[in-house]
Chains A and B, each alone.
Chain A
Amino acid sequence: MTFRKSFLCLFAFVVAAAVPVEVNAQNDQAGVTHAVRHAVEEARKAGVPDAIINRLLANGYDNGAEAASMANLVGIVGKVKKDDLPLEPFVSKIEEGMAKRIPAASIEQVLNQKKQDYLFTRSVTADYLKKYGLQQQMTPEDLVGIAESLYSGLSRQDLARTVEQAPAGSIFTLKRVISVQASLKRVGFDPKLSDRIISTALEHKFFARQRRGFVRALVEGKRKGVSDEKITEAALSTMQNGGTVAGFCSKIGVSSSDIGL
Protein backbone atom coordinates (compact mmCIF):
# COMPACT_ATOMS: atom_id res chain seq x y z
CA MET A 1 0.00 0.00 0.00
CA THR A 2 1.52 3.28 -1.05
CA PHE A 3 2.17 6.16 1.30
CA ARG A 4 -0.37 8.19 -0.63
CA LYS A 5 -3.12 5.64 -0.14
CA SER A 6 -2.46 5.38 3.54
CA PHE A 7 -2.60 9.15 3.72
CA LEU A 8 -5.88 9.13 1.82
CA CYS A 9 -7.31 6.65 4.32
CA LEU A 10 -6.26 9.02 7.05
CA PHE A 11 -8.12 11.86 5.36
CA ALA A 12 -11.21 9.74 4.92
CA PHE A 13 -11.32 8.79 8.58
CA VAL A 14 -10.76 12.25 9.92
CA VAL A 15 -13.15 13.96 7.56
CA ALA A 16 -15.84 11.31 7.73
CA ALA A 17 -15.89 10.62 11.41
CA ALA A 18 -14.25 13.61 13.07
CA VAL A 19 -13.21 11.29 15.84
CA PRO A 20 -9.73 10.39 16.98
CA VAL A 21 -7.91 9.23 13.91
CA GLU A 22 -7.09 5.59 13.41
CA VAL A 23 -3.49 5.40 12.46
CA ASN A 24 -2.79 3.21 9.52
CA ALA A 25 0.64 2.21 10.76
CA GLN A 26 2.52 1.37 7.63
CA ASN A 27 6.15 0.57 8.28
CA ASP A 28 8.34 3.38 7.09
CA GLN A 29 5.36 5.79 6.74
CA ALA A 30 4.13 5.39 10.31
CA GLY A 31 6.15 8.34 11.47
CA VAL A 32 4.60 10.68 8.95
CA THR A 33 1.00 9.64 9.54
CA HIS A 34 1.65 9.86 13.25
CA ALA A 35 2.81 13.43 12.71
CA VAL A 36 -0.49 14.30 11.05
CA ARG A 37 -2.45 12.66 13.82
CA HIS A 38 -0.39 14.43 16.44
CA ALA A 39 -0.87 17.79 14.71
CA VAL A 40 -4.63 17.21 14.50
CA GLU A 41 -4.82 16.25 18.17
CA GLU A 42 -2.79 19.27 19.22
CA ALA A 43 -4.96 21.56 17.10
CA ARG A 44 -8.10 20.12 18.69
CA LYS A 45 -6.62 20.58 22.16
CA ALA A 46 -5.85 24.18 21.31
CA GLY A 47 -9.51 24.65 20.42
CA VAL A 48 -9.43 24.60 16.64
CA PRO A 49 -12.94 23.52 15.59
CA ASP A 50 -13.28 20.18 13.84
CA ALA A 51 -14.93 21.95 10.92
CA ILE A 52 -11.71 23.92 10.34
CA ILE A 53 -9.49 20.85 10.66
CA ASN A 54 -11.70 18.92 8.26
CA ARG A 55 -11.66 21.83 5.86
CA LEU A 56 -7.86 21.93 5.94
CA LEU A 57 -7.46 18.22 5.47
CA ALA A 58 -10.05 18.03 2.70
CA ASN A 59 -8.34 20.93 0.96
CA GLY A 60 -5.01 19.21 1.28
CA TYR A 61 -6.45 16.06 -0.19
CA ASP A 62 -8.05 17.94 -3.09
CA ASN A 63 -4.72 19.56 -3.87
CA GLY A 64 -2.54 16.49 -3.44
CA ALA A 65 -0.63 17.77 -0.43
CA GLU A 66 1.96 15.56 1.22
CA ALA A 67 1.22 14.33 4.72
CA ALA A 68 4.27 15.96 6.25
CA SER A 69 3.21 19.33 4.84
CA MET A 70 -0.31 18.90 6.15
CA ALA A 71 1.06 18.08 9.57
CA ASN A 72 3.06 21.30 9.55
CA LEU A 73 0.18 23.43 8.32
CA VAL A 74 -2.29 22.02 10.81
CA GLY A 75 0.36 22.53 13.47
CA ILE A 76 0.69 26.20 12.61
CA VAL A 77 -3.08 26.67 12.74
CA GLY A 78 -3.07 25.08 16.17
CA LYS A 79 -0.44 27.53 17.34
CA VAL A 80 -2.42 30.44 15.89
CA LYS A 81 -5.40 29.34 17.95
CA LYS A 82 -3.25 29.00 21.05
CA ASP A 83 -2.22 32.62 20.58
CA ASP A 84 -5.91 33.49 20.42
CA LEU A 85 -5.65 34.95 16.94
CA PRO A 86 -8.49 34.75 14.38
CA LEU A 87 -8.19 31.56 12.36
CA GLU A 88 -9.91 32.48 9.11
CA PRO A 89 -7.10 34.57 7.56
CA PHE A 90 -4.67 31.71 8.14
CA VAL A 91 -6.94 28.97 6.87
CA SER A 92 -7.81 31.07 3.87
CA LYS A 93 -4.14 31.69 3.19
CA ILE A 94 -3.49 27.93 3.19
CA GLU A 95 -6.35 27.40 0.76
CA GLU A 96 -5.05 30.22 -1.38
CA GLY A 97 -1.54 28.86 -1.40
CA MET A 98 -2.72 25.40 -2.38
CA ALA A 99 -5.00 26.75 -5.10
CA LYS A 100 -2.05 28.71 -6.48
CA ARG A 101 0.18 25.60 -6.30
CA ILE A 102 2.62 27.26 -3.95
CA PRO A 103 5.17 24.86 -2.38
CA ALA A 104 4.15 23.89 1.12
CA ALA A 105 7.35 25.24 2.61
CA SER A 106 6.56 28.68 1.21
CA ILE A 107 3.02 28.52 2.59
CA GLU A 108 4.43 27.67 6.02
CA GLN A 109 6.81 30.60 5.81
CA VAL A 110 4.02 32.99 4.90
CA LEU A 111 1.86 31.69 7.73
CA ASN A 112 4.59 32.08 10.30
CA GLN A 113 5.25 35.60 9.11
CA LYS A 114 1.53 36.31 9.25
CA LYS A 115 1.34 35.09 12.82
CA GLN A 116 4.10 37.46 13.81
CA ASP A 117 2.36 40.31 11.98
CA TYR A 118 -0.88 39.65 13.80
CA LEU A 119 0.82 39.48 17.15
CA PHE A 120 2.59 42.75 16.37
CA THR A 121 -0.66 44.41 15.31
CA ARG A 122 -2.44 43.27 18.40
CA SER A 123 0.35 44.63 20.53
CA VAL A 124 0.43 48.15 19.00
CA THR A 125 -3.34 48.51 18.95
CA ALA A 126 -3.58 47.31 22.55
CA ASP A 127 -1.25 50.15 23.44
CA TYR A 128 -3.56 52.57 21.63
CA LEU A 129 -6.64 51.35 23.47
CA LYS A 130 -4.83 51.48 26.76
CA LYS A 131 -3.42 54.93 26.04
CA TYR A 132 -6.84 56.47 25.61
CA GLY A 133 -8.56 54.40 28.22
CA LEU A 134 -10.95 53.10 25.64
CA GLN A 135 -13.32 50.51 27.00
CA GLN A 136 -13.98 49.20 23.54
CA GLN A 137 -12.54 45.81 22.83
CA MET A 138 -10.99 45.05 19.51
CA THR A 139 -13.04 42.47 17.68
CA PRO A 140 -11.37 39.74 15.60
CA GLU A 141 -12.66 41.50 12.49
CA ASP A 142 -11.03 44.75 13.58
CA LEU A 143 -7.75 42.97 14.16
CA VAL A 144 -7.93 41.34 10.74
CA GLY A 145 -8.71 44.64 9.01
CA ILE A 146 -5.75 46.38 10.63
CA ALA A 147 -3.26 43.53 10.41
CA GLU A 148 -4.00 42.96 6.74
CA SER A 149 -2.96 46.54 6.02
CA LEU A 150 0.56 45.22 6.41
CA TYR A 151 0.06 43.51 3.04
CA SER A 152 -1.52 46.54 1.41
CA GLY A 153 1.45 48.84 1.55
CA LEU A 154 2.22 49.56 5.18
CA SER A 155 5.33 48.36 6.92
CA ARG A 156 5.30 47.53 10.61
CA GLN A 157 7.00 50.83 11.27
CA ASP A 158 4.31 52.66 9.28
CA LEU A 159 1.57 50.90 11.19
CA ALA A 160 3.15 51.56 14.56
CA ARG A 161 3.68 55.21 13.70
CA THR A 162 0.13 55.67 12.41
CA VAL A 163 -1.39 54.07 15.48
CA GLU A 164 0.90 55.98 17.81
CA GLN A 165 0.03 59.31 16.21
CA ALA A 166 -3.68 58.65 15.87
CA PRO A 167 -5.69 60.83 18.22
CA ALA A 168 -8.28 59.42 20.54
CA GLY A 169 -11.18 58.00 18.63
CA SER A 170 -12.97 54.81 17.76
CA ILE A 171 -11.50 51.64 16.37
CA PHE A 172 -13.63 52.36 13.32
CA THR A 173 -11.82 55.64 12.68
CA LEU A 174 -8.46 54.06 13.42
CA LYS A 175 -9.12 51.38 10.81
CA ARG A 176 -10.07 53.94 8.21
CA VAL A 177 -6.98 56.01 8.87
CA ILE A 178 -4.79 52.94 8.48
CA SER A 179 -6.62 51.91 5.33
CA VAL A 180 -6.18 55.35 3.78
CA GLN A 181 -2.53 55.40 4.77
CA ALA A 182 -2.00 52.00 3.15
CA SER A 183 -3.77 52.98 -0.06
CA LEU A 184 -1.78 56.18 -0.41
CA LYS A 185 1.50 54.44 0.24
CA ARG A 186 0.69 51.77 -2.28
CA VAL A 187 0.31 54.29 -5.07
CA GLY A 188 3.48 56.07 -4.03
CA PHE A 189 1.81 59.21 -2.71
CA ASP A 190 4.17 61.69 -1.08
CA PRO A 191 4.40 60.56 2.59
CA LYS A 192 4.40 64.06 4.02
CA LEU A 193 1.36 65.04 1.96
CA SER A 194 -0.34 61.77 2.99
CA ASP A 195 0.19 62.73 6.61
CA ARG A 196 -1.31 66.15 5.96
CA ILE A 197 -4.40 64.68 4.35
CA ILE A 198 -4.89 62.24 7.19
CA SER A 199 -4.31 64.73 9.98
CA THR A 200 -6.74 67.20 8.34
CA ALA A 201 -9.29 64.43 7.90
CA LEU A 202 -9.03 63.56 11.56
CA GLU A 203 -9.22 67.19 12.60
CA HIS A 204 -12.44 67.65 10.66
CA LYS A 205 -13.76 64.21 11.56
CA PHE A 206 -13.86 63.45 7.86
CA PHE A 207 -13.56 59.71 8.40
CA ALA A 208 -16.16 59.54 11.10
CA ARG A 209 -18.81 59.39 8.39
CA GLN A 210 -18.91 57.35 5.22
CA ARG A 211 -17.05 59.09 2.43
CA ARG A 212 -17.82 56.79 -0.37
CA GLY A 213 -15.22 56.89 -3.11
CA PHE A 214 -12.89 59.45 -1.56
CA VAL A 215 -9.75 57.37 -1.62
CA ARG A 216 -10.69 55.81 -4.94
CA ALA A 217 -10.94 59.30 -6.37
CA LEU A 218 -7.60 60.21 -4.90
CA VAL A 219 -5.93 57.11 -6.33
CA GLU A 220 -7.60 57.61 -9.71
CA GLY A 221 -6.41 61.22 -9.77
CA LYS A 222 -2.87 60.04 -9.20
CA ARG A 223 -3.23 57.49 -11.96
CA LYS A 224 -4.39 60.20 -14.31
CA GLY A 225 -1.21 62.12 -13.60
CA VAL A 226 -2.56 64.81 -11.29
CA SER A 227 0.25 65.94 -9.01
CA ASP A 228 0.29 64.96 -5.36
CA GLU A 229 0.33 68.65 -4.43
CA LYS A 230 -2.80 69.41 -6.43
CA ILE A 231 -4.60 66.37 -5.07
CA THR A 232 -3.63 67.34 -1.53
CA GLU A 233 -4.80 70.91 -2.02
CA ALA A 234 -8.15 69.72 -3.37
CA ALA A 235 -8.52 67.16 -0.56
CA LEU A 236 -7.75 69.66 2.19
CA SER A 237 -10.11 72.20 0.68
CA THR A 238 -12.89 69.61 0.49
CA MET A 239 -12.41 68.60 4.10
CA GLN A 240 -12.06 72.10 5.49
CA ASN A 241 -15.13 73.40 3.68
CA GLY A 242 -17.35 70.42 4.32
CA GLY A 243 -17.29 69.54 0.64
CA THR A 244 -18.47 66.37 -1.02
CA VAL A 245 -16.59 63.54 -2.70
CA ALA A 246 -18.16 64.57 -6.00
CA GLY A 247 -16.80 68.06 -5.53
CA PHE A 248 -13.37 66.67 -4.77
CA CYS A 249 -13.55 64.57 -7.93
CA SER A 250 -14.29 67.54 -10.12
CA LYS A 251 -11.38 69.49 -8.60
CA ILE A 252 -8.90 66.83 -9.65
CA GLY A 253 -10.45 65.94 -13.00
CA VAL A 254 -11.89 62.59 -12.00
CA SER A 255 -15.41 61.76 -13.10
CA SER A 256 -17.87 60.02 -10.86
CA SER A 257 -18.17 57.20 -13.35
CA ASP A 258 -14.41 56.64 -13.16
CA ILE A 259 -14.83 55.60 -9.56
CA GLY A 260 -18.16 53.88 -9.93
CA LEU A 261 -20.29 56.58 -8.36
Chain B
Amino acid sequence: MEKIEPEEPYDEMADRIKTMIRKMPQIEPPVRLLPAVMEAVKAKSVPLWLRAYRWARSPRSVTFSLLHLVPAMALCALLVCAALFQHGRENRNITLAESGESIPVVLAVDMPDAHSVQVVGSFNNWVPQPCSLNKDNGSTRWTVTLQLQAGRYEYAFLVDGKHMPHPHAEFYQDDGFGNQNTVLALGKEDDI
Protein backbone atom coordinates (compact mmCIF):
# COMPACT_ATOMS: atom_id res chain seq x y z
CA MET B 1 0.00 0.00 0.00
CA GLU B 2 1.39 3.40 -0.97
CA LYS B 3 2.38 5.61 1.92
CA ILE B 4 0.49 8.89 1.99
CA GLU B 5 2.86 11.73 2.73
CA PRO B 6 1.46 14.59 4.82
CA GLU B 7 1.06 17.81 2.89
CA GLU B 8 3.79 20.33 3.46
CA PRO B 9 2.92 24.00 3.94
CA TYR B 10 3.35 26.09 0.79
CA ASP B 11 6.88 27.40 0.52
CA GLU B 12 7.22 30.05 -2.13
CA MET B 13 10.98 30.13 -2.07
CA ALA B 14 11.35 26.41 -2.48
CA ASP B 15 8.77 26.46 -5.21
CA ARG B 16 10.64 29.17 -7.07
CA ILE B 17 13.90 27.28 -6.83
CA LYS B 18 12.25 24.13 -8.13
CA THR B 19 10.77 26.04 -11.06
CA MET B 20 14.10 27.58 -11.91
CA ILE B 21 15.82 24.21 -11.79
CA ARG B 22 13.17 22.91 -14.13
CA LYS B 23 13.65 25.75 -16.60
CA MET B 24 17.40 25.96 -16.20
CA PRO B 25 19.08 26.28 -19.59
CA GLN B 26 21.33 23.40 -20.53
CA ILE B 27 24.36 23.21 -22.72
CA GLU B 28 23.82 21.74 -26.15
CA PRO B 29 25.81 18.57 -26.68
CA PRO B 30 28.44 18.56 -29.44
CA VAL B 31 27.08 17.92 -32.89
CA ARG B 32 29.57 15.10 -33.33
CA LEU B 33 28.17 13.13 -30.37
CA LEU B 34 25.41 11.30 -32.19
CA PRO B 35 27.39 10.34 -35.32
CA ALA B 36 30.33 9.26 -33.17
CA VAL B 37 28.11 6.98 -31.07
CA MET B 38 26.39 5.48 -34.11
CA GLU B 39 29.68 4.85 -35.86
CA ALA B 40 30.97 3.03 -32.79
CA VAL B 41 27.87 0.90 -32.22
CA LYS B 42 27.57 -0.06 -35.88
CA ALA B 43 31.09 -1.36 -35.70
CA LYS B 44 29.94 -3.52 -32.81
CA SER B 45 27.05 -5.06 -34.76
CA VAL B 46 26.14 -8.32 -33.14
CA PRO B 47 25.98 -11.44 -35.31
CA LEU B 48 22.61 -13.14 -35.62
CA TRP B 49 23.55 -16.24 -33.69
CA LEU B 50 24.75 -14.22 -30.72
CA ARG B 51 21.63 -12.06 -30.77
CA ALA B 52 19.51 -15.22 -30.69
CA TYR B 53 21.66 -16.58 -27.88
CA ARG B 54 21.30 -13.40 -25.85
CA TRP B 55 17.58 -13.27 -26.49
CA ALA B 56 17.27 -16.83 -25.22
CA ARG B 57 19.36 -15.91 -22.18
CA SER B 58 17.57 -12.67 -21.40
CA PRO B 59 16.77 -12.36 -17.69
CA ARG B 60 14.60 -14.99 -16.05
CA SER B 61 13.31 -15.16 -12.53
CA VAL B 62 14.49 -17.25 -9.62
CA THR B 63 11.61 -17.19 -7.20
CA PHE B 64 11.43 -18.54 -3.71
CA SER B 65 7.96 -18.25 -2.45
CA LEU B 66 5.50 -19.78 -0.04
CA LEU B 67 2.86 -19.36 -2.72
CA HIS B 68 1.79 -22.27 -4.75
CA LEU B 69 3.63 -22.30 -8.04
CA VAL B 70 1.26 -21.88 -10.92
CA PRO B 71 2.28 -23.25 -14.32
CA ALA B 72 3.62 -19.92 -15.50
CA MET B 73 5.96 -19.78 -12.51
CA ALA B 74 7.01 -23.37 -13.11
CA LEU B 75 7.88 -22.35 -16.64
CA CYS B 76 9.90 -19.44 -15.25
CA ALA B 77 11.68 -21.83 -12.93
CA LEU B 78 12.50 -24.10 -15.84
CA LEU B 79 13.81 -21.15 -17.80
CA VAL B 80 15.82 -20.08 -14.74
CA CYS B 81 17.56 -23.40 -14.72
CA ALA B 82 18.24 -23.17 -18.42
CA ALA B 83 19.82 -19.78 -17.86
CA LEU B 84 21.53 -20.38 -14.54
CA PHE B 85 22.64 -24.00 -14.71
CA GLN B 86 23.80 -24.70 -18.22
CA HIS B 87 25.01 -28.22 -17.92
CA GLY B 88 24.90 -31.09 -20.33
CA ARG B 89 23.87 -29.12 -23.35
CA GLU B 90 25.02 -30.97 -26.40
CA ASN B 91 25.19 -28.32 -29.05
CA ARG B 92 26.08 -25.16 -27.22
CA ASN B 93 28.22 -22.82 -29.22
CA ILE B 94 29.50 -21.09 -26.13
CA THR B 95 30.03 -22.22 -22.59
CA LEU B 96 29.89 -19.65 -19.88
CA ALA B 97 33.33 -20.60 -18.68
CA GLU B 98 34.78 -20.30 -22.17
CA SER B 99 33.19 -17.01 -23.05
CA GLY B 100 33.62 -15.42 -19.61
CA GLU B 101 30.17 -13.99 -20.10
CA SER B 102 28.09 -13.11 -17.15
CA ILE B 103 25.00 -15.01 -16.12
CA PRO B 104 21.73 -13.10 -15.83
CA VAL B 105 20.06 -13.74 -12.51
CA VAL B 106 16.77 -12.29 -11.38
CA LEU B 107 16.17 -12.51 -7.66
CA ALA B 108 12.53 -12.23 -6.73
CA VAL B 109 10.80 -12.21 -3.38
CA ASP B 110 7.17 -11.77 -2.36
CA MET B 111 6.84 -9.03 0.24
CA PRO B 112 3.38 -7.48 0.06
CA ASP B 113 3.82 -5.36 3.17
CA ALA B 114 7.24 -3.93 2.46
CA HIS B 115 7.79 -0.29 1.55
CA SER B 116 11.25 -0.82 0.17
CA VAL B 117 13.37 -3.84 -0.62
CA GLN B 118 17.03 -3.80 -1.52
CA VAL B 119 19.57 -6.50 -2.11
CA VAL B 120 23.07 -6.49 -0.61
CA GLY B 121 25.70 -9.05 -1.37
CA SER B 122 29.23 -9.90 -2.23
CA PHE B 123 28.36 -9.26 -5.90
CA ASN B 124 27.84 -5.56 -5.25
CA ASN B 125 30.29 -5.01 -2.39
CA TRP B 126 27.34 -5.04 -0.01
CA VAL B 127 26.12 -1.71 -1.33
CA PRO B 128 22.32 -1.72 -1.17
CA GLN B 129 20.77 -2.07 -4.59
CA PRO B 130 17.07 -1.29 -4.87
CA CYS B 131 14.61 -3.92 -6.02
CA SER B 132 11.73 -3.02 -8.30
CA LEU B 133 8.18 -3.58 -7.23
CA ASN B 134 5.98 -5.58 -9.58
CA LYS B 135 2.34 -6.10 -8.89
CA ASP B 136 0.92 -8.75 -11.16
CA ASN B 137 -2.06 -11.04 -10.73
CA GLY B 138 -2.51 -10.09 -7.11
CA SER B 139 1.05 -10.82 -6.05
CA THR B 140 3.50 -8.19 -4.82
CA ARG B 141 6.91 -9.18 -6.03
CA TRP B 142 10.16 -7.33 -5.58
CA THR B 143 12.79 -8.16 -8.17
CA VAL B 144 16.32 -7.23 -9.07
CA THR B 145 18.32 -8.28 -12.11
CA LEU B 146 21.98 -9.05 -11.74
CA GLN B 147 24.66 -9.99 -14.20
CA LEU B 148 27.13 -12.24 -12.45
CA GLN B 149 30.22 -14.15 -13.38
CA ALA B 150 30.41 -17.81 -12.42
CA GLY B 151 31.32 -18.09 -8.77
CA ARG B 152 30.01 -18.14 -5.27
CA TYR B 153 28.13 -15.23 -3.73
CA GLU B 154 26.47 -14.38 -0.46
CA TYR B 155 23.57 -12.00 -0.30
CA ALA B 156 20.56 -10.90 1.68
CA PHE B 157 17.64 -8.55 1.34
CA LEU B 158 17.09 -5.36 3.29
CA VAL B 159 13.34 -5.17 3.79
CA ASP B 160 12.47 -1.70 5.08
CA GLY B 161 16.06 -1.54 6.27
CA LYS B 162 15.93 -4.86 8.08
CA HIS B 163 18.27 -7.67 7.08
CA MET B 164 16.63 -10.86 5.83
CA PRO B 165 18.04 -13.84 3.95
CA HIS B 166 16.19 -14.99 0.84
CA PRO B 167 13.26 -17.05 2.12
CA HIS B 168 13.27 -20.73 1.19
CA ALA B 169 16.60 -20.67 -0.50
CA GLU B 170 18.50 -23.85 0.06
CA PHE B 171 21.90 -22.72 1.10
CA TYR B 172 22.51 -20.35 3.95
CA GLN B 173 25.56 -19.19 5.75
CA ASP B 174 26.13 -17.49 9.07
CA ASP B 175 27.56 -14.05 8.52
CA GLY B 176 29.38 -14.03 11.86
CA PHE B 177 27.34 -11.03 12.98
CA GLY B 178 24.32 -12.94 14.14
CA ASN B 179 22.52 -13.00 10.78
CA GLN B 180 22.28 -15.43 7.93
CA ASN B 181 23.11 -14.80 4.32
CA THR B 182 21.84 -16.75 1.35
CA VAL B 183 24.48 -18.50 -0.72
CA LEU B 184 24.22 -18.38 -4.50
CA ALA B 185 26.62 -20.51 -6.49
CA LEU B 186 26.83 -20.11 -10.26
CA GLY B 187 28.94 -21.99 -12.74
CA LYS B 188 30.18 -25.51 -13.23
CA GLU B 189 30.36 -26.39 -9.54
CA ASP B 190 27.25 -24.54 -8.71
CA ASP B 191 24.71 -27.15 -7.90
CA ILE B 192 24.26 -30.15 -5.72
Contacts and interface: CB of A to CB of B under 8 A. Distances in A.
Asked whether the complex places CB atoms of A and B closer than 8 A, the reply is yes
Contacts of A151: 173-176
Interface residues of B, number: 36
A196 interface: no
Contact of A260 (B77, B154, B189): B77
A253 to B, nearest CB: 15
A144 B152 contact: yes
Contact of A114 (B62, B176, B191): B176
Instruction: Tell me which of A93, A99, A175, A213 has the highest count of chain B C-beta atoms within 10 A of its own C-beta.
Output: A99
Nearest to A102: B177
Interface string A144-160: 11001001100000000
Interface string B111-140: 000000000101001111000000000000
A212 interface: yes
Contact of B170 (A95, A100, A215): A215
B53 interface: no
B176 A95 contact: no
B177 A92 contact: no
B56 interface: no
A100 B163 contact: yes
Given A97-B177, A100-B179, A257 B192 contact: no
B192 A214 contact: yes
Contacts of B173: 148, 151-152
B183 interface: yes
A152 B172 contact: yes
Contacts of B78: 261
Instruction: Tell me which of B125, B127, B172, B189 has the highest count of chain A C-beta atoms within 10 A of its own C-beta.
Output: B125
A216 B80 CA distance: 15
A190 to B, nearest CB: 19
A131 interface: no
A78 B33 CA distance: 46
Contacts of B52: none
B155 to A, nearest CB: 10
Interface string A125-145: 000000000000000010011
A115 B55 CA distance: 44
Interface in A55-74: 55, 59
A2 interface: no
B62 A92 contact: no
Contacts of B181: 96
A257 B171 contact: no
A219 B170 CA distance: 7
Contacts of B183: 152
A260 B80 contact: yes
Nearest to B126: A99
B125 A95 contact: yes
Contact of A145 (B73, B152, B176): B152
Contact of B192 (A95, A98, A176): A176
A97 B172 CA distance: 17
Interface in A208-261: 210-216, 219-220, 257-261
B125 A100 contact: no
A113 interface: yes
A141 B189 CA distance: 11
Contacts of A99: 120, 126-128
Interface stretch (A15-23, A25-33, A37-45, A179-187): A179-187
B192 A180 contact: yes
The 5 closest A-B pairs by CB, nearest first: A99-B126, A110-B176, A257-B74, A95-B126, A215-B192
21 contacts: A92-B126, A96-B122, A96-B154, A96-B175, A96-B177, A96-B181, A97-B177, A99-B127, A106-B177, A110-B177, A145-B152, A148-B152, A151-B173, A151-B174, A172-B189, A183-B171, A212-B81, A219-B170, A257-B69, A257-B73, A257-B74
